[in-house]
C-alpha cells in the first residue's frame, strides 16, 4: 500500500516541472514535485563550463517571471540560467522534494503508484517532466581503444579535462560545433566529424535568429506541421553569439571529416559524405535567408540588406579532398568527444505506452493513459515546446486538462 496519496504528481524538477507546479498552483490543484537530485540538475551537471545559452537574453523568460539582464542582445552563461531557474523556484515555491528518484511508475486500480526509495506515492494524475535530453547516445565504435580518453558531450567540462594531444569531436550539431570552437580557441588541434546538420545564421538583416522565428511565427509551428527532419539547428551563443561556419573552422585549422563509420587498430574509416553534408547544411542556411527575405518583401519591412551573411569562404583542402581514413596514433589524437546526441530513457514507466523508438504516445502531452501526461519533450505540441520560454503554454494546457478531470 502506498504510504502517501496526492492528486497530481510531477516527476522532474527542471524548468518543466517547476512551470507545471506554477500552473497547478494557479488552478488550486494539490500536487507534489519529485526531483531525483537538485533543481535544474541537468544544467548543473550535464553541461560544459563554457556553454552559453543559445537564445538571446531578451527572449529568456518563464511564466510571469522575467530573466534579469543588462544586455538584451547578449547570451547568458549556464550559471546565470541555473540562478534564474533557482529564482523561479523561489517565486513558484513548489511543494518539491529533492533527492527523491521515481524508480518505477505503475498503474493500480485508482490511478498511479510511483515507487521511490523506501516507499511509494499514489497519485490520480502524473506529469512526467524528466526532460527532452535524458540519455547520452554514444556509438560503440571506439570501445576497443582503451588508451583513448573518451567522453560524451554531457560529461565534457573544459579543454583542461583532456590529455595533451589532438582531439576528435564526433558530431557537428550545436554541441559538437561549440566544443570544437572552444577547443580550437584553447589551442588544440581538432578533427571534426560532420554528419547531416541544419545550419542557421545567428543574425540576419539586423536581427537575431530567434527574433525572426518569433516574428514569422515559426516557433509556434504545430507539431502536426513538423517536417521530416529531426535535426536541431547548429547555433551558438558563445563569444557574443556567432554563426557556425564549418569553412571558417577549417580556415582556423580544424580538419573536417565525414562520418566515422568503423575503427580498427586505431585507424578510422571515414564515409565519403562530407561534401554532401556541408552542401545540405549550406542549402538549409540559404533557404532560411530566402524565407526571411520573402517575409520582409511581403510585409514591406525595412531591414538593411546583409551581404556578409551570404559570403561563402573558399572550400578548404579537407573539404575539396576529404580524408577517407584517419590514423589516430599518426595524428596524435588522444581524446574523443562524442557529441552524438541524446535519447529518451523512460523504461522506468511500467505502463505500455512507449512506441518502438522508446518515445511515449501522446497528443500535446496528453497520453493514451487517462491521467498520465508528458511535459517538456521536443515538439510536444509545437516547435517551442521544449524551449525555456515555450514550456509555459503546454503546462497551462495540461493543468487545464487535469482540472477538467477533477
Ligand X SMILES: Cc1cc2nc3c(=O)[nH]c(=O)nc-3n(C[C@H](O)[C@H](O)[C@H](O)COP(=O)(O)OP(=O)(O)OC[C@H]3O[C@@H](n4cnc5c(N)ncnc54)[C@H](O)[C@@H]3O)c2cc1C
Q: How many helices (H) and strands (E) does the chain have?
A: 9, 25
Element (H, E) at 167: strand 166-170
Q: Of 61 and 189, which has the nearer Cβ to ligand X? A: 61
Looking at beta carbons only, is 17 or 365 nearer to ligand X? 17
Reference 11, options 110, 103, 141, 143; nearest CA is: 103
DSSP letter for each residue of 239-307: GG-----HHHHHHTT-EEE--EEEEETTEEEE-TTHHHHHHHHHHHHHHHHHHHHHHHHHHT------G
Of 226 and 312, which has the nearer Cβ to ligand X? 226
**Least distance (Å) between residue 132 CB and ligand X:** 5
Contact 319, 117 (CB under 8 A): no
Between strands 372-374 and 119-128, the pairing is parallel
Least distance between ligand X and beta carbon 320 (Å)? 31
Residue number, 80 or 271, with CB nearest to ligand X: 80
The whole-angstrom distance between residue 87's C-alpha and the CA centroid of its chain comes to 22
Instruction: State the minimum distance, in angstroms, from the CB of residue 41 to ligand X.
Output: 4
- Shortest approach of ligand X to residue 275 CB, angstroms? 27
Q: Identify whether the C-beta of residue 75 lies closer than 8 Å to the C-beta of residue 32.
A: no
DSSP per-residue codes, 84-131:
HHHHHHHHH---EEES----EEEE-SSSEEEEETTEEEEEEEEEE---
Which residues partner with 104 through β-bridges?
A: 115
CB of residue 16 to ligand X, shortest distance in Å:
3
Q: Which of 272, 343 has the CB closer to ligand X?
A: 343
Three cell numbers, residue 397: 494546457
Q: Which is nearer to ligand X, 117 or 301 (CB)?
A: 117
Nearer to ligand X, 45 or 262 (CB): 45
CA separation for the pair 199, 229 (Å, rounded): 13
Q: Is the dihedral of CA 24, 26, 29, 33 positive or negative?
A: positive
Q: Closest distance between ligand X and the C-beta of residue 282, in Å?
A: 23
Question: Of 54 and 255, which CB lies nearer to ligand X in the complex structure?
Answer: 54
Kindly list the residues in this chain that would bind ligand X in the complex (CB under 6 A): 11-17, 34-37, 41-42, 47, 51, 53-55, 101-102, 129-133, 175, 348, 376, 386-388
Torsion sign across C-alpha atoms 182, 247, 207, 378: negative
Query: How do 198-199 and 233-234 pair as beta strands?
Result: parallel
Tell me if 195 sits within 8 A of 277, measured CB to CB. Answer: yes
By beta-carbon proximity to ligand X, the closer residue of 258 and 387 is 387
SS3 (DSSP) at 310: helix
Minimum CB distance to ligand X, residue 23 (Å): 13
Which residues fall within 8 angstroms of residue 228, CB to CB, at 6 or more apart?
none
- Bridge partners, 120 (sequence order): 115
Q: How far is the CB of 97 from ligand X (least distance, A)?
A: 9
**Whether the Cβ atoms of residue 20 and residue 89 lie closer than 8 Å to each other:** no
Q: Which is nearer to ligand X, 67 or 249 (CB)?
A: 67
Nearest distance in Å: CB 363, ligand X: 18
CB of 272 to ligand X, least distance (A): 29
Amino acid at each position: 500500500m502506498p504510504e502517501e496519496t496526492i492528486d497530481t504528481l510531477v516527476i522532474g524538477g527542471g524548468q518543466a516541472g517547476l512551470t507545471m507546479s506554477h500552473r497547478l498552483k494557479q488552478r488550486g490543484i494539490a500536487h507534489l514535485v519529485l526531483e531525483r537530485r537538485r533543481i535544474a540538475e541537468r544544467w548543473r551537471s550535464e553541461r560544459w563550463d563554457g556553454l552559453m545559452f543559445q537564445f538571446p537574453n531578451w527572449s529568456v523568460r518563464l511564466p510571469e517571471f522575467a530573466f534579469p539582464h543588462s544586455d538584451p542582445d547578449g547570451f547568458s552563461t549556464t550559471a546565470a540560467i541555473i540562478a534564474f531557474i533557482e529564482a523561479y523556484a523561489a517565486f513558484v515555491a513548489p511543494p518539491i522534494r529533492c533527492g527523491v528518484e521515481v524508480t518505477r511508475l505503475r498503474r493500480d486500480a485508482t490511478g498511479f503508484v510511483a515507487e521511490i526509495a523506501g516507499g511509494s506515492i499514489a497519485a490520480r494524475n502524473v506529469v512526467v517532466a524528466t526532460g527532452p535530453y535524458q540519455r547520452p547516445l554514444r556509438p560503440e565504435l571506439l570501445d576497443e581503444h582503451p588508451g583513448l580518453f573518451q567522453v560524451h558531450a554531457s560529461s565534457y567540462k573544459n579543454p583542461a579535462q583532456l590529455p595533451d594531444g589532438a582531439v576528435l569531436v564526433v558530431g557537428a550539431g550545436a554541441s559538437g560545433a561549440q566544443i570544437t570552437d572552444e577547443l580550437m580557441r584553447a589551442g588544440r588541434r581538432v578533427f571534426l566529424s560532420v554528419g547531416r546538420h541544419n545550419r542557421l545564421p545567428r543574425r540576419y538583416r539586423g536581427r537575431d535568429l530567434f527574433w525572426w522565428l518569433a516574428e514569422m511565427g515559426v516557433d509556434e509551428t504545430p507539431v502536426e506541421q513538423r517536417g521530416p527532419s529531426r535535426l536541431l539547428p547548429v547555433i551558438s551563443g558563445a563569444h557574443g553569439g556567432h554563426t557556425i561556419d564549418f569553412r571558417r573552422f577549417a580556415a582556423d585549422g580544424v580538419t573536417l571529416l565525414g562520418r566515422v563509420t568503423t575503427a580498427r587498430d586505431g585507424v578510422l574509416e571515414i564515409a565519403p559524405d562530407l561534401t554532401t553534408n556541408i552542401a545540405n547544411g549550406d542549402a538549409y542556411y540559404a533557404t532560411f535567408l530566402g524565407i526571411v527575405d520573402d517575409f520582409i518583401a511581403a510585409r514591406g519591412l525595412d531591414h538593411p540588406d546583409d551581404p556578409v551573411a551570404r559570403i561563402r569562404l573558399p572550400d578548404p583542402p579537407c573539404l575539396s579532398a576529404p580524408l577517407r581514413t584517419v590514423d589516430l596514433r599518426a595524428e596524435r589524437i588522444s581524446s574523443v568527444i562524442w557529441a552524438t546526441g541524446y535519447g529518451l530513457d523512460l523504461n522506468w514507466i511500467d505502463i505500455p505506452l512507449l512506441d518502438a523508438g522508446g518515445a511515449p504516445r501522446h497528443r500535446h502531452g496528453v497520453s493514451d493513459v487517462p491521467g498520465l501526461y508528458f511535459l517538456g519533450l521536443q515538439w510536444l505540441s509545437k516547435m517551442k515546446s521544449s524551449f525555456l520560454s515555450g514550456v509555459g503554454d503546454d503546462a497551462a494546457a495540461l493543468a487545464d486538462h487535469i482540472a477538467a478531470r477533477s
